[in-house]
Amino acid sequence: MTAYLIVRAEVDPSVKSPFDTWYQNEHLPDAFKAFEVISAKRGWSSVDPHVHIAFYEFPDLAAAEALMSSDIIREFIAEFDRHWAGKVVRTREVVAFSQKI
């Protein structure tokens, strides 16, 4: 069953617009290709307008875990930090679905 890498970012209001543009035009398309995922989606929380969440869908847990220990993810983290360190705080989780109805 599929697994997801979920990246939750708390974005400083002063950089929300450039962050959104960068994520749309650079980060998400680049990650989609480099991570070799089934799909990549992102959006802003309707509860907190400064929370951005991205979802990267993998065919299974093993593929997601392999990415999380790879040089590829480390390069993406470094690039993200180069742009947004001190302005965006984020967390990452890998979730493997155990049920679908």
Encode pLDDT of 7-16 as tens digits: 999 999 999 9
Supply the pTM of this predicted model.
0.94
Domain count, the chain: 1
Any residues with CB less than 8 A from the CB of 42 and at least 6 apart, and which?
23, 24, 28, 52, 53, 54, 55
Q: What is the pLDDT of residue 1?
A: 86
In a domain, 101, yes or no: no
In a domain, 49, yes or no: yes
The residue range of the domain holding 52 is 3-96
What tens digit of pLDDT does each residue of 77-100 get? 999 999 999 999 999 999 998 888
Any residues with CB less than 8 A from the CB of 94 and at least 6 apart, and which?
3, 4, 5, 6, 61, 64, 65, 68
25 with 17: CB under 8 angstroms?
no
19 with 52: CB under 8 angstroms?
yes
> What CATH number is attached to the domain comprising 84?
3.30.70.100
Q: How many Cα atoms sit within 13 Å of 99 on the Cβ side?
A: 1
In a domain, 91, yes or no: yes
